Amino acid sequence: AAAEKGGYAHFMLKEIMETPKVLADTINPRVENGEIHLEHEAELDELFRSVKKVMIVACGSASHVGYAAKYVIERLARVPTEVDIASEYRYRDPIVEPGDLVLVISQSGETADTLAALRLAKSRGAKVACIVNVVGSSIARESDYVLYTWAGPEIAVATTKAFSAQLAVIDLFAVRLALVRGAIDEAHARELTAAIAALPEQAKALLAREEECKRLAARYQNAKDLFFIGRGLDYAIAMEGSLKLKEISYIHSEVYAAGELKHGTISLVVDDTPVIAIATQSHLIEKTVSNIKEVKARHAKVLAVCREGALDGDVADDIFTIPDGEDLFVPSLDVIPLQLLSYYIAVLRGCDVDKPRNLAKSVTVE
Ligand code: AGP
């Protein structure tokens, strides 16, 4: 079993460490001479030109990729994008027009609710594209267009490398969609493509800072309740950070759009309540900093994940910095310290990291 884990203590850690390779395997085959080429290019390009709306359907972590996708697709391609949790979508009589694009995201390709949502969308005339990891899975077989994440088998119940790969496919998808629709020009597309192609190396540099995450884990391991806050793409990643921590460490955690805190939950922030603030989006940094100050005023203990030099040293108690780069693609990077933090906190608390209680890797029954 030790060999299966490549010498790591757990599959989860092994899989986090595989992120740079997985990103390269997912990105590189789709980039040629600085241009993005997706599978089913002719058909997808045609659909991209005419599509009026993108609807993303997924469960759990894959839905968090969906929330990130909404920001990236709308910002770059200016196509309205909705995100739905599959178990909600399938029972709410969704409005689907023929020609709509439904984008289904799933690691396993076997999640029951996601598969049912796909079937419903198809029966109503939508074109279905999927981002799936398991080759030949049900969702892959039943979709019109398959965009695989090349993450390899993922064993740990908590998804890590597949999540990062899903984000990378979204980035490629959004840039291609934007270019084909004329929402961005070729020069801009090239710039963005280069930024995506740089992600594997940047991920490698972050993983080399594993010890920093371990030290932070020791400082936050005894939390009873914890908050994650962020705005925009940082909010989407905060959702994933919060789920990851809950799943494997059993620490109760809440995620809030940073601007929403004062509409209720800030009443729960008291002396030493840990708050993890994701603050990587440069156009939102001032706003998030003011939210950090609000919780600091209630004596919260704040860990900020932000760009180098973005925050004054005294704004947060702890800072983990992310290298500079395109804001739209930073989720693939800032999720890494959050995954490592959850992992080490769960290890320090003696939890069964790879097989958390009550959870299955793939939820194939409703
Ligand atoms: C992630 O850590 C979870 N275990 C879970 O939320 C998962 O993402 C969800 O069940 C969806 O699974 P899928 O990607 O295989 O469809």
Burial string for 69-107 (b: 16+ CB within 10 Å, else e) reads bbbbbebbbebebbbbbbbebbeeebebeeebbbbbbbb
103-146 pLDDT per residue, tens: 999 999 999 999 999 999 999 999 999 999 999 999 999 999 99
Which residue, by CA, sits nearest to atom 8 of ligand 1? 61
Q: How far apart are CA 240 and CA 234, in angstroms?
A: 10
Q: For residue 141, which amino acid is it? A: R
Q: What is the pLDDT of residue 253?
A: 96
Mean pLDDT of 225-248: 97
Quote the pLDDT of residue 360: 82
Q: Is the confidence at residue 147, as pLDDT, over 70?
A: yes
Give the percent of the chain with pLDDT over 70.
99
Q: For residue 361, indicate whether it is catalytic.
A: yes
What average pLDDT does this structure show over 293-303?
94
The pLDDT, as a whole number, for residue 181 is 98
**Confidence tier at 1 by pLDDT (50, 70, 90):** low
Give the distance (Å) from ligand 1 centre to CA of residue 291.
Answer: 30
For residues 174 and 79, give the distance between their C-alpha atoms in angstroms, rounded to a whole number.
10
Q: Is the CB of 331 under 6 A from ligand 1?
A: no
Q: What is the pLDDT of residue 363?
A: 84
Q: Which of 237, 64, 152, 180 is nearest to 172 (CA)?
A: 180
> Looking at this protein, which amino acid is placed at residue 26?
T
Is it the case that residue 352 has pLDDT exceeding 90?
no
Tell me what pLDDT residue 101 has. Answer: 97
66 lines ligand 1 (CB under 6 A): no
What's the number of CA atoms in the CB half-sphere (13 Å) around residue 320? Answer: 25
**Ligand 1 site, residue 85, Cβ cutoff 6 A:** no
> Confidence class of residue 361 from pLDDT cuts 50, 70 and 90?
confident
Residue 151 CA to ligand 1 center (angstroms) comes to: 14
Q: Is 321 in the pocket of ligand 1 (CB under 6 A)?
A: no
Q: Give the model confidence (pLDDT) of 23-68 as tens digits.
A: 999 999 999 999 999 999 999 999 999 999 999 999 999 999 999 9
Cβ of 363 below 6 Å from ligand 1: yes
As a whole number, mean pLDDT of residues 178-194 equals 98
Does the pLDDT at position 210 exceed 80?
yes
93-102 pLDDT, tens digit per residue, is 999 988 899 9
* Cα–Cα distance, 91 to 88 (Å, whole number): 6
Average pLDDT for 161-188: 98
Burial of 355 (0-12, 13-18, 19+ CB in 10 A): middle
Q: pLDDT higher for 261 or 264? A: 261
Round the average pLDDT of the chain to a whole number and report it: 95
Cβ distance 107 to 154 under 8 Å? Answer: yes
Number of neighbours of residue 365 by Cβ within 10 angstroms: 6
For residue 187, pLDDT over 80 is answered with yes
Q: 350 falls in which pLDDT band (50, 70, 90)?
A: very high
Contact call for residues 180 and 45 (beta carbons, < 8 A): yes
Contacts of 205 (CB under 8 A, 6+ apart): 323
Q: Identify which of 147, 128, 142 has the alpha carbon closest to the alpha carbon of residue 38.
A: 147
Question: What pLDDT sits at residue 264?
Answer: 79
Task: Work out the average pLDDT over 68-85.
Answer: 98
Instruction: Report in angstroms the alpha-carbon separations of 286 from 56, 311, 315, 320.
Output: 30, 10, 12, 18
Do residues 174 and 72 make contact, with C-beta atoms less than 8 angstroms apart?
yes
pLDDT score recorded for residue 117: 97
DSSP 207-267: HTTHHHHHHHHHHHTT-SEEEEEESTHHHHHHHHHHHHHHHHH--EEEEEEGGGGGGTGGG
3-state DSSP call for residue 228? Answer: strand
**Torsional sign, CA 269, 272, 273, 279:** positive
Ligand 1 pocket: which of 57, 64, 84, 108 to mutate (most atoms <8 Å of CB)? 108
Residue 124 exposure: Cα atoms within 13 Å on the Cβ side: 15
- CB distance 60 to 85 below 8 Å: no
ipTM score? 0.98
Predicted TM-score (pTM) of the model is: 0.96
